[in-house]
Amino acid sequence: MTIPPSESPPTGSPDGTGPEDERVEETAPVGVPGSEEIERLRAEVAALRAQLEGERRRRPSRGGAIRRGVAAVLAVVAAFALVTSVVGLWAATTTLNTDRWVATVAPLPQDPKVNAAVAEYSTTEVFRVLDVEQRLRTVLPEQAAFVAGPLTAQIREQVRKTVQNVLGSDRFQVIWVELNRQLHQKVVDVVEGESNVVTAREDSVQIDLLPLINQVLRQLSDQLPTLFGKEITLPDLSSGAIPENLRLRVEEALGVTLPADFATFTVYDSGQLWEVQQAVASAKRYLALFVAGTILLLLAAFVVSPQRRRTAVQFGLWLVVAAVTVTVVLRAVRREILEAMPAGVYHDGVDAAMTTVFRLLRERDVQLIVIGSAIALLAYLAGPGRFPVWLRHSAARWTAAGWRRVRAGSVVVAARGPGFIARNLDPVRVGGLVVAILLALVLSSWTSLLVIVVLLVAYEVAVTLIAHRHTEAERTPPPALG
């Protein structure tokens, strides 16, 4: 029995999804019985496929969200750890390093505001224990007792000038540097409150100015011997060695009992300073751990992150936040210290001293802000966002256009430049000299001056050679043809 072609059995896989079925599905005409059912089945298959694809996408996206969250947390911790490491490095290399500390505090006596504050305080302390006016009333006749007040004012001014001269002298500068070098360990002990020069307690930090007053009294004994009523002998601290019994020796020389707080200047009176000092000490103690932890945290953030560019943006932004936090803390501490100071020379002197001591830390803080901003900006501009893409394409177009103009300009300069230089050689030389002078006024270091001189000589030689060659080329006749 012959089967007509239209009645041939279907071929293909047993489940009825063979090639002919696909052909029938694709070519089933509209209006033929069963075509609507086929369209419905197509829609169901498409929906199931879309659902399956969505499930496949959702599963990894949940894991990706977790990784993004972990990477973001690690980036935040790494940013703050980096700033903490910088503070620790500053503490280790500045306040806890002898050479750096000496270099930091060496200019303080020459600072006019610090000089004025210390001179005013030292003068007040000297007059407090000497009671100059009463001594003058004792030695003056009763009829002349009224001049004791004006004489006291004049002597006070003389003492203040003497203190300022001692502070600003080259000899005291050498003593100051050597004292800071030899007593640096006692300055470091400020954290534990064990220094006899600078002591820290849970409620205050104090500076003992008795060594300075000792040197001032020695000079006053030569200038105003009658001020003390007798010849006094005080130890010379030029070697930098401060006797442990210095207070007792000053009392014996002056014949007075010094108050417990004599020449002791309270810089700060708040428990918060103790906390700050302990934080700095901890940062220094665990410095290596902080640095290693920062590196590991940053590496872990980029390893875990499924979007490293996004993690870089987050790290840069949080680095800026952490650095700004340090700035805010420094300003808050500075403000509280200055608010405790009376307006006038004391306030200005403490302000100038803090500016000097914390200058390097502020510079590092600004550098961290710039670095964090640059990291975040560059990572963002490297991304697929609409604005970064437009900016990159625009920059590429502008660069290409600029390069074309530069090449065209270089051709013109190469063709016309030698002739212009030859015709205007003297103005060109003078112009180079003027530029060199302006640069020398702005850049005053010896290295920059040397570089400017070398560049100026090279410039003058170059323009002279260019002009000479162009002139010789014009004078040389072209070779005859044939």
pLDDT at 4 over 60: no
CA of 362: how far to CAs of 78, 80, 274, 288, 331, in Å? Answer: 20, 16, 21, 22, 10
**Strand-pair category, 205-208 with 198-200:** antiparallel
CA–CA distance, 284 with 279 (Å, rounded to integer): 9
Other residues' Cβ atoms within 10 Å of the Cβ of residue 262:
19
Q: Please give the Cα distance from 424 to 4 (Å, whole number).
A: 104
Packing angle between helix 386-423 and helix 359-381, nearest 10 degrees?
110
Q: Does position 445 have pLDDT exceeding 60, yes or no?
A: yes
Q: What b/e string do you get for 324-337 counting C-beta neighbours within 10 Å, with b at 16 or more?
A: eebeeebeebeeeb
* Alpha helices, DSSP H, located in 110-209: 112-130, 132-139, 148-168, 170-182, 184-188
For residue 165, the tally of other CB atoms under 10 A from its CB is 15
At 63 the pLDDT is 67
pTM: 0.60
Tokens 């016309």 label which residue? 416
Structure confidence at residue 56 (pLDDT): 59
**Among 183, 170, 171, CA closest to 210:** 183
Block residue for tokens 């009658």: 226
Q: What is the pLDDT of residues 293-313, one digit of tens each?
A: 889 999 999 999 888 899 999
Looking up tokens 């940053």, which residue turns up?
298
Structure tokens at 291: 């640095």
Please determine, for residue 34, whether its predicted confidence score (pLDDT) is greater than 80.
Answer: no
Average pLDDT over residues 413-419: 82
Q: Over 70: is that where the pLDDT of 223 sits?
A: yes
Q: What pLDDT sits at residue 425?
A: 86
CB count, 10 Å around CB of 127? 16
Amino acid symbol at 114? V
Pair 227, 132: CB distance under 8 Å: yes
Which of 204-208, 291-295, 343-347 is predicted with the least confidence, judged by mean pLDDT? 204-208
The top-scoring range by mean pLDDT among 120-124, 364-368, 408-412, 446-450 is 364-368
Strand order of the sheet with strand 264-268?
A: 198-200, 205-208, 264-268
Dihedral sign, CA of 448, 451, 456, 457? positive
Confidence (pLDDT) at 477: 66
Share of the chain above pLDDT 70, in %: 76
Residues above pLDDT 90, as percent of the chain: 14
Alpha carbon separation from 16 to 24, 35, 40 (Å, rounded):
12, 17, 17
- Helices within 91-106 (DSSP H only): 98-105
Highest mean pLDDT among 133-137, 143-147, 334-338: 334-338
CB 53 within 8 A of CB 66: no
442 residue type, one letter? V
Contact 128, 117 (CB under 8 A): no
Average pLDDT, the chain: 78
* Domains of the chain by residue range: 77-94+279-381, 97-273, 391-475
Q: What is the torsion angle, in degrees rounded to the nearest 10, for the CA atoms of residue 222, residue 224, residue 226 and residue 229?
A: -70
- R_g (Cα) of the chain, nearest Å: 41
Beta partners for residue 198, in sequence order:
207
Residue of 70, 109, 464, 468 whose CA lies nearest to 302: 70
Sign of CA dihedral 233, 237, 243, 246: positive
**Length reported for the chain:** 482
Tokens standing for 86? 């910088």
User: Which pLDDT does position 205 carry in this prediction?
Assistant: 56
Q: What residues have CB less than 8 Å from 152, skipping those under 6 apart?
A: 127, 132, 133, 136
